[in-house]
Amino acid sequence: MQTHKESAIISAETPLIANLDMCENIALIKEVHDNMSTVDAESLAVEILSVLGLKKISRKRVASCTKEEQFLVMCIRAMMTQEKSVMIKLPGEILGSLLHIQKLIQSMKKLNNGKEIFILDSLNHKKHYEGCECNIEK
Amino acid sequence: MYLIERLGEKTMTIFRSLFEIVRFILLVLLHVFKPKSYNPAMRMVLTKQIYFTAIGIIPIFMLMAFLFGSVIIGVVIYLSTEYSLQSEMGSIIVTFVIDEFAPFFTALLISLRSGAAVNTEIAIMSVNQELNTLQEYKIDIIDYLFLPRIISGVISVISLSILFALIMLGSGYIFTFLYMHMDFNTYKYLLLNAIDVSDILTLILKSFAFGFVIMLIPIYSGLHTKKDYTAVPISVLNGMIRLFIAIFFIEVFSLIIQSL
């Protein structure tokens, strides 16, 4: 498993930037790390949002999106980084509940860009991940 | 003994925070000269900030410049004629408008409008842990958040001060025409004979200093907000007090330099 420092973190402590819309939140990473122009980075962001059927929220800000939409945008943002893996820490804190976690994991699979995804959660929430096509390690 | 201890403690706190501010200024200046700082995201924030700070304010700014400017220039012209200083009127208008009033009044307006907004924005970002997000995703907060705001502050205050001075000099003509029946050419030559390179330089340097502190102090104050929403108004309050003290010091310092 990669160490914490080699992973792009998704957690309640790394929220989306409130004064940027969803598209800008995603594009920011490419603009800063790959020096990609704003226009190119934003069209890439819209393209990826479209894969998940979230194009409609591309110009919305955090307050106008549901927790699930915010979570998926956070995942896309993490995928944009140059890190080899993505670490999701306690998704329940971001989502409020883990009822739809299986559906969200399926959505994340559509984004597959070769990065390993780790979900760090407490054993109490194990039942929410059962039946999911992923390894559960204690 | 207790009093001496308290005095020493207070002095140490003041020196410590001064040292921290100087360190912060040097860090920001270091980033100004790094080409890597100017990535597309930073340039986009810079464009937006210039729009919000300098362009968005223009209609109300021009109106205020005309209203305040006309009244004050009217008083200056009235007093100079009352004390038989007509021959010095050009120098009085130029010194008062270009060296003093235009940069100072612009600094006050921008502080109240953008300084307070920037302080609140950074404080809320700090409380919301958005600064943590930027750090976690290796986005330099000086490059992305602070540098565009400081550069836009400097550009905005310099350009708006020049605009303010031009409007004030324009309204000065209206007063000289109404009060002294002075024609436009006489007024124009009166100003042209009085104006000096040092006046333009004073306007630009003062505006530069004002623009720098108008953004730097609110950013610094917002950055040091405690992680609680109730700390946001306190942060803005402290930031604004520090900012007005800094503006006062720049004004006094420039007066001392000019009097040498």
Helix, strand or coil for residue B164? helix
- Worst-scoring range by mean pLDDT, B34-38, B80-84, B246-250? B80-84
What average pLDDT does the segment B231-251 reach?
Answer: 94
* B244 CB-near residues (< 8 Å, 6+ apart): B111
Is A137 contained in some domain?
Answer: no
CB distance from B124 to chain A under 8 Å? yes
Between residues B147 and A96, which one has the greater pLDDT? B147
Between residues A122 and B129, which one has the greater pLDDT? B129
Q: Which amino acid is at B128?
A: N
Helix, strand or coil for residue A81? coil
Interface-testing mutation among B137, B144, B229, with chain A (most A C-beta atoms within 10 A): B137
Quote the Cα angle for A7-A60-A108, to 5°.
35
Domain that holds residue A83: 4-129
Map tokens 């306007």 to a residue: B203
> Which structure tokens are listed for A19?
């004064």
* A19 CB-near residues (< 8 Å, 6+ apart): A61, B121, B125
Map tokens 């009044």 to a residue: B105
- Per DSSP, the residues of B55-80 read ITTHHHHHHHHHHHHHHHHHHHHHHH
Q: Which residues of B touch A81 (CB under 8 A)?
A: 137-138
pLDDT of A5 reads 59
CB–CB of B211/B104 below 8 Å? no
Is A138 contained in some domain?
Answer: no
What is the domain partition of chain B in residue ranges? 1-32, 40-259
Cα A61 to chain centroid, rounded:
16
What's the burial of A7, exposed, middle or buried (CB within 10 Å: 0-12/13-18/19+)? buried
Helix, strand or coil for residue B201? helix
Helix, strand or coil for residue A68? helix
Q: Which residues of A touch B128 (CB under 8 A)?
A: 15, 18
Q: Which amino acid is at A89?
A: K
Is A119 contained in some domain?
Answer: yes
**Cα B120 to Cα B150: distance, rounded to the nearest angstrom:** 15
Is A32 contained in some domain?
Answer: yes
* CATH number, domain with residue A44: 3.40.50.300
- Note whether A28 contacts B124, CB cutoff 8 Å: no
Question: Alpha carbon of A8 to those of A72, B42, B139, B182, B186: distances in Å?
Answer: 14, 22, 12, 71, 69
In chain B, the largest separation of any two C-alpha atoms, in whole Å, equals 71
pLDDT of A2 reads 47
> Which structure tokens are listed for B234?
């306190």
Domains in chain A, number: 1
What's the burial of B43, exposed, middle or buried (CB within 10 Å: 0-12/13-18/19+)? middle
Is A134 contained in some domain?
Answer: no
What average pLDDT does the segment B146-171 reach?
Answer: 94
**Cα A76 to Cα B25: distance, rounded to the nearest angstrom:** 35
CB distance from B121 to chain A under 8 Å? yes
Is A115 contained in some domain?
Answer: yes
CB distance from B38 to chain A under 8 Å? no
* pLDDT over 90 (residue B190): no
* Averages of pLDDT over each 10 residues, chain A, 138 residues: 69 94 95 94 94 93 93 93 90 85 83 83 80 71
C-alpha dihedral (B224, B225, B226, B230), degrees to nearest 10 = 170
CB distance from B128 to chain A under 8 Å? yes
Is A135 contained in some domain?
Answer: no
CB–CB of B65/B167 below 8 Å? yes
What average pLDDT does the segment B188-205 reach?
Answer: 90
